[in-house]
């Protein structure tokens, strides 16, 4: 992220971090370590893990306190209905995917979606990548069995490899260091692409160049880009050259799942004495690890980053209130985002009671819809997939519930990639289950391809306008 919005912001960006002194008490560490932590790998060699986390603790922060604070301000605008979050990227990033071309393709898709949303919904879009750190996955089963052979489940490149071989699936702490370095490389590319001219709105056509001819979503986008071009031409003719159009504010995020990793990257902000997880601007706690008595929530309590929590369809109003009270004791707008992932069939009954209860409790929160994780199913041929119609149906339910409750639909959280993969069905290309084998490349959950991601952005802009 960059593009400070005001001189005050740019001053804050210079925030420094105190060196962590191992001899000094670090109470936040003891607090989460004394509680049960779900979904942690069985590291075979704890001594090696300790060496790795010590090294991580000595490495530079990837993000700065002032940047995290600025994102809190941006999300505070979301809680007031004055901005909308677009959060997305891979389900699981991979080390081999940390290349300039793959990162650029993802960013380009995110930028195109953001343009569609900004223009269509007429609201500022807060752009957060599931990027530069999304290397660890919770799993429904700790092991995987193939042809009678049982091995540890793949838990993301930060833990083990995807190939089904004993040596590869054994958790390896040195992968945490590689995750840090791949995050640094990815974030560096993101910072360069979003401020070095690539994200300049005058490039609105260029992002679409390789895409337009044979894609309905690309053609629709091209028409919108034409309108933006005319608006930019009009502004130029009036003598206006706003710097806001030349670069983009971009933030990184991942699930704070591997507490040894996120904890090793906590630093104390020397300006305020507050603790930040400097591995990403925004971190969230997943549906499987959000127990109020567990280590993940305790860890999240101790950091000052903006944070999210996933809420599945069985979340009760009491659960939601408990999390809101635990995670936003100061009732700070922008601190807490609730990311609902109910499933298209459940959202209309499951979301309204939560909206009601949280509104009554009174703490401001941003409500974001993850329409992916409640809509996964397996095809007859064994592919894990999602249908774009279900994804859009959940989004419809999200907008309807907020309209009925008088609360703000604050954003979307999606899994997509910049490439033309065939992992989800539906969309303007009408992919069906028989097409999935063509380019099924995900390391974990099925992602929208670029065309489906744009289809989704057009629909969301339309729903937002009407909500």
**If 0-12 CB within 10 Å is exposed, 13-18 middle and 19+ buried, where does residue 259 land?**
buried
- In the complex, least distance from residue 88 CB atom to Co ion, rounded to whole angstroms: 11
Question: Footprint of ligand PEP on residues 35-94 (CB under 6 A)?
Answer: 91
- In the complex, least distance from residue 39 CB atom to ligand PEP, rounded to whole angstroms: 10
**Which residues, other chains included, contact 149 with Cβ-Cβ below 8 Å and sequence gap of 6+?**
164
- In the complex, least distance from residue 130 CB atom to ligand PEP, rounded to whole angstroms: 8
**Residue 269 interacting entry, from ligand PEP, Co ion, none, C-beta within 5 to 8 Å by type:** none
Between 137 and 267, CB nearer to ligand PEP = 137
- Specify the stretch interacting with ligand PEP by CB under 6 A; choose among 224-232, 280-288, 315-323, 379-387: 280-288
Tokens 């005319």 belong to: 230
Residue nearest ligand PEP, CB atom distance: 286
Q: Is 341 in the site for ligand PEP (CB under 6 A)?
A: yes
- In the complex, least distance from residue 308 CB atom to ligand PEP, rounded to whole angstroms: 10
- In the complex, least distance from residue 365 CB atom to ligand PEP, rounded to whole angstroms: 17
**277 φ, ψ (degrees, to nearest 5):** -85, 105
Q: Is 310 in the site for ligand PEP (CB under 6 A)?
A: yes
- Specify the stretch interacting with ligand PEP by CB under 6 A; choose among 75-83, 284-292, 344-352, 416-424: 284-292
**Which residues, other chains included, contact 161 with Cβ-Cβ below 8 Å and sequence gap of 6+?**
154, 168, 169
**If 0-12 CB within 10 Å is exposed, 13-18 middle and 19+ buried, where does residue 93 land?**
buried
**Residue 287 interacting entry, from ligand PEP, Co ion, none, C-beta within 5 to 8 Å by type:** ligand PEP
- Specify the stretch interacting with ligand PEP by CB under 6 A; choose among 103-111, 283-291, 293-301, 432-440: 283-291
Question: Footprint of ligand PEP on residues 130-149 (CB under 6 A)?
Answer: 138
DSSP bridge pairs for 246: none
Between 445 and 455, CB nearer to Co ion = 445
- In the complex, least distance from residue 257 CB atom to ligand PEP, rounded to whole angstroms: 9
The pair of structure tokens assigned to 211 is 């895409």
Among 373, 402, 447, 463, binds ligand PEP (CB under 6 A): 373
Which residues of this protein are in contact with ligand PEP, per CB under 6 A?
Answer: 91, 138, 255, 286-288, 310, 341, 373
């Amino acid at each position: 992220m960059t593009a400070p919005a005001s001189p005050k912001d740019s001053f804050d960006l210079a925030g420094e971090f105190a060196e962590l002194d191992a001899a000094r008490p670090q109470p936040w560490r003891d607090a989460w370590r004394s509680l049960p932590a779900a979904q942690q790998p069985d590291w075979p060699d704890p001594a090696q893990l300790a060496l790795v986390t010590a090294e991580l603790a000595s490495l530079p922060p990837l993000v700065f306190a002032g940047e995290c604070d600025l994102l809190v301000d941006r999300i505070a605008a979301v809680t007031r209905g004055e901005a909308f979050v677009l959060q997305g990227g891979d389900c699981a990033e991979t080390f081999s995917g940390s290349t300039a071309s793959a990162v650029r393709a993802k960013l380009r898709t995110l930028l195109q979606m953001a343009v569609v949303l900004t223009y269509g919904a007429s609201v500022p879009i807060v752009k957060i990548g599931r990027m530069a750190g999304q290397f660890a996955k919770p799993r429904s089963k700790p092991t995987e069995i193939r042809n009678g052979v049982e091995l540890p489940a793949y838990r993301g490149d930060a833990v083990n490899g995807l190939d089904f071989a004993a040596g590869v699936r054994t958790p390896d702490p040195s992968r945490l260091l590689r995750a840090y370095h791949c995050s640094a490389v990815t974030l560096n590319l993101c910072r360069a692409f979003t401020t070095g001219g690539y994200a300049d709105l005058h490039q609105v056509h260029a992002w679409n160049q390789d895409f337009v001819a044979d894609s309905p979503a690309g053609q629709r986008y091209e028409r919108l880009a034409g309108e933006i071009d005319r608006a930019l031409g009009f502004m130029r003719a009036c003598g206006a050259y706003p710097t806001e159009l030349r670069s983009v504010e971009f933030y990184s995020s991942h699930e704070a799942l591997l507490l040894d990793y996120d904890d090793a990257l906590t630093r104390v902000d020397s300006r305020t004495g507050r603790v930040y997880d400097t591995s990403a601007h925004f971190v969230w706690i997943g549906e499987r690890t959000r127990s109020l008595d567990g280590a993940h929530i305790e860890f999240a309590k101790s950091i000052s980053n903006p944070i999210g929590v996933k809420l599945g369809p069985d979340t009760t109003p009491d659960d939601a209130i408990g999390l809101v009270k635990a995670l936003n004791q100061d009732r700070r707008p922008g601190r807490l985002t609730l990311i609902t992932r109910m499933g298209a069939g459940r959202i209309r009954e499951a979301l309204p009671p939560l909206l009601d209860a949280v509104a009554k409790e009174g703490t401001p929160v941003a409500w974001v819809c993850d329409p992916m994780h409640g809509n996964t199913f397996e095809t007859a041929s064994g592919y894990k997939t999602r249908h774009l119609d279900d994804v859009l149906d959940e989004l419809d339910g999200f907008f309807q519930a907020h309209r009925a409750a008088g609360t703000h639909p604050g954003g979307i959280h999606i899994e997509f990639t910049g490439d033309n993969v065939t992992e989800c069905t539906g969309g303007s290309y009408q992919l069906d289950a028989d097409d999935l084998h063509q380019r099924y490349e995900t390391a974990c959950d099925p992602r929208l391809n670029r065309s489906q991601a744009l289809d989704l952005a057009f629909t969301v802009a339309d729903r937002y306008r009407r909500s």
